[in-house]
Amino acid sequence: MAGMERIGLVVHPRRDLSKALATIESWAAAHGVEVVQIRSPGQDRRLVPEGDAAACDLLLALGGDGTTLAALHAATPAGRPVLGVACGSLGALTSIGADGLAHALDEVAAGDWTARTLPGLHLRYGESRELTAVNDLVLVRAAAGQVTVEIEIDGELLVRFAGDGLVAGTPLGSTAYTLASGGPMLAPGATGLTLTPLAPHGGVCPPVVTAPHSRVTVRLDPGNGGARVELDGQVRADSARPRLVPARLRAAYATLVALGDQEPPLAGLRRRRIILDSPRVLARDDRLNAATLSSGGG
């Protein structure tokens, strides 16, 4: 990214960002780069002067995966890449920790990075609202009582059920709310939408993975208690009447900066214990390690 002139920051609302911010300001001063802050919904914290994402060459997300998601939504309309910086634990979307930030900026400025393109889940809600999620769309009951969900895939009825709602996830989001709800996890490189019913009341409605280009239509009846629509963990709409929600996977929706020494996705899931070996296997490893140590082999 030769000739970088301006960096935009999207910041976590509460975490200590002093180390990362000092590194950015020092690096920017040495390279003649301006630093601005990009406004994010619900974000009142201000660390540097505000700017426009479209006027930036790169957006830095300082925080965790939630902050990186916010940065992706800010950067995507302008076609800008996002570098996720972990100020806390390293997540699925953050490429580096604050300690490696100066080196990472050197790599990006030299063009020594790879674009990690992420698909988005695009949907229409109501008559005119169009929304896109990087992780997931959640249709969920807003109060007591159940909602009724009907799912069609490519014009064919899959299932109708009553329950708490539905999680529709992207391949990236399959390791987030989808996995936590008992849905399928897509391995790196796999594509398609994951559809996971939430607490279905009876019937047989297993989680489903669609083909990458499938057209999915969800009919949502919010019942007496109402329902809400969440995109990437943020409430976007409420509903008190039945809704038709067409959704599809949009290829190459957002761009993350990937660096050469970044850990593979599966390794990250194991490090964060989102994927964890069974207790029986771990107990066997402990026995073998203990036996090795007692025999003097370690």
Residues annotated as part of the active site: 65
- From residue 222, alpha-carbon distances to 139, 142, 160, 187, 217 in Å are 9, 8, 13, 33, 16
Instruction: Kindly tell me the burial class for residue 153, based on how many C-beta atoms sit within 10 Å of its own C-beta (0-12, 13-18, 19 or more).
Output: middle
DSSP string for residues in 68-85? HHHHHHHHGGGT--EEEE
- Contact, 217 vs 244, CB < 8 A? yes
User: Could you give the CA distance from residue 56 to residue 255 in angstroms, rounded to a whole number?
Assistant: 14
The two three-digit tokens of residue 183, written as one number = 């849905």
Q: Give yes or no for a contact between 97 and 73, defined as CB atoms under 8 angstroms apart.
A: no
Collapsed DSSP state (helix, strand, coil) of residue 108: helix
